Chain A
């Protein structure tokens, strides 16, 4: 640190800047202050998520039905597994970071290099996993029909597994029956030249209705939870009536406007909070790479202190800390 501080010749005096309040160096303390303010930002977001969730407490999507996919295991419903792996990856990269800090305290350059490298790899794997999670969420699962009032109607049928009757979801791809429709995607070349529209939904509500009418055993469930926390399954007659009278839009996947899993606010908060956290991970990885190269070229060896590794390490652990809360409030609770 000496190289970055102008010497005034009064270092030994309290007012000379030579002492460290609370026995923490300036840089470390400022990193902590930044972390506290960033923690307040994140808690603001998570509290806003809690507000919206309490506001729609009887119709909030069930996380176990939303995040069920694991890479390479197609068609299996495995809630929680993948996100648990992601959590473990992030905690693991936190561990390699502490080991790097510890090696720095012993001025062991080669060990710091190895551990910093492993930390960067862990961060990159986590970012990739999150991108995959987003991709799966955006692409969607079974699809649904949205009503004029913004409610989501999903499809499924009762099947008997091991003597127990369960409600199994049915994809809109399996029931939709193609109908003749004049509605085509408006592109610049076939309509008003200065405007175009987003992609049309894969099916029209009429096609879904025809499919529902043709499949006798398929039922509709809406997004309201019963006293056991399951979504309400409608009777056959009510199912047909709901789609016929209220169905407005076929939804597949999720984006900032619609969300096949339920309240669109869920998708908005998911994208915003995990996106903001992912941005923190990304900047953490970039900081780690900068520090990694500084370690490799020997900057801290010459400075005589690896405190910079410790400061960036604090930020990296903070990212891990935030993920622990995001994990709880998005996937568990």
Chain B
């Protein structure tokens, strides 16, 4: 069952001669990303530890803006970097190790978009609820006592 493989990654910027070479190339790339993550995780540069943008104040449009910009407004840049690098790693594992790059386009979309859509929805709901419960526990008139 000789299959044809697509032998280029980074939208054709890095081409390989054989499938085996591509596998090693992807390994190097994934190891590099993991190394960056570990180094950032150990040193935690100060500049990445505080959000760059404060939540917008004001009415309706400020709320909309905060929602759209929530990864920047509510998340430390370091954590945003970690999550983006994780998604990049997941992409190359799925596309090259699991051969999604070689599958029919519609098959690939069926797998990826189902998961991505449902996961985003679930994460949004649960994180939103978690933040709400936090605000109820720690609000000014909270009836929760931590030590008794």
Interface residues of A (CB under 8 A from B): 22-24, 29, 32, 35-36, 39-40, 43-44, 47-48, 50-58, 64, 79-81, 84, 87-88, 91-92, 94-95, 97-99, 101-102, 105-106, 147-149, 151, 228-229, 246, 305-307, 310, 313-314, 317-318, 320-321, 324-325, 327-328, 331-333
B104: which of A22, A87, A229, A331 is its contact (CB, 8 Å)?
A22
Enumerate chain B residues within 8 angstroms of A35, measured Cβ to Cβ. 111
> Which residues of B sit under 8 angstroms from A44, Cβ to Cβ?
122
A54, A84, A318: which contacts B98 (Cβ < 8 A)? A318
B73 proximal to A (CB < 8 A): no
Across the interface, do B104 and A23 meet the contact criterion of CB distance under 8 Å?
yes
- Pick the contact of B111: A36, A47, A92, A310 (CB < 8 A): A36
Question: Hey, which chain A residues are within 8 Å of B37, CB to CB?
Answer: 328, 332
Q: Which residues of B contact A84 (CB under 8 A)?
A: 34-35, 38
Q: Which residues of A contact B93 (CB under 8 A)?
A: 94, 317, 320-321, 324
Contacts of A52 on B, CB cut-off 8 Å? 130
Interface residues of B in 1-48 (CB under 8 A from A): 1-3, 19-20, 23-24, 27, 30-31, 34-35, 37-38, 41-42
A22 touches B83 (CB 8 A): no
Question: DSSP majority for the B interface?
Answer: helix
- Chain A residues with CB under 8 Å of B99's CB are 101, 310
Chain B residues lying within 8 Å of A91, measured Cβ to Cβ, are 27, 30-31, 34
Chain B contacts for A54, CB-based, 8 A: 127, 130-131, 133-134
Interface of chain B residues 92 through 148 with chain A (CB within 8 A): 93-94, 96-99, 103-104, 106-107, 110-111, 114-115, 118-119, 122-123, 126-127, 129-131, 133-134, 137-138, 145-148
Residues A55 and B89 in contact in the complex (CB < 8 Å), given A43-B122, A50-B127, A91-B27: no
- In the complex, whether B79 has a CB less than 8 A from a CB of chain A is yes
- Within 8 Å of chain A (Cβ to Cβ): is B49? yes
A151 close to B146 (CB less than 8 A) = yes
Knowing A47-B122, A328-B83 touch, does A147 contact B104 (C-beta < 8 A)? no
Tell me the bound Cα distance from A314 to B94 in angstroms.
9
Contact check: which of A24, A79, A88, A95 meets B103 at CB < 8 Å? A24
B147 touching A43 by the CB < 8 A rule? no
The answer on a CB contact under 8 Å between A320 and B97 is yes
B71 to A: closest C-beta gap in Å: 12
**Most chain B beta-carbon neighbours within 10 Å: one of A79, A88, A307:** A88
The one of A55, A147, A328, A332 that contacts B130, using a Cβ cutoff of 8 Å: A55
A149 touches B1 (CB 8 A): no
The answer to whether the Cβ of B70 comes within 8 Å of any Cβ in the partner chain is no
Q: In the assembled complex, how far is the CB of residue A90 from the closest CB belonging to chain B, in whole angstroms?
A: 10
Q: Does B56 contact A (CB under 8 A)?
A: no
Residue of B38, B79, B103, B133 near A23 (CB, 8 A) is B103
Give the 9 A-B CB pairs with smallest separation, nearest first: A54-B130, A22-B107, A51-B130, A51-B126, A328-B86, A149-B147, A47-B126, A43-B119, A84-B38
- Residues of B within 8 Å of A328, CB to CB, are 37, 82-83, 86
Contact (Cβ within 8 A) B107 A332: no
20 A-B pairs in the complex with CB atoms less than 8 angstroms apart: A24-B103, A29-B107, A36-B114, A40-B118, A43-B119, A43-B122, A47-B123, A53-B130, A54-B127, A54-B134, A79-B42, A80-B42, A98-B97, A106-B2, A228-B49, A305-B1, A310-B99, A317-B98, A318-B98, A332-B82
Q: How far is the CA of A29 from the CA of B27 in the complex (A)?
A: 25
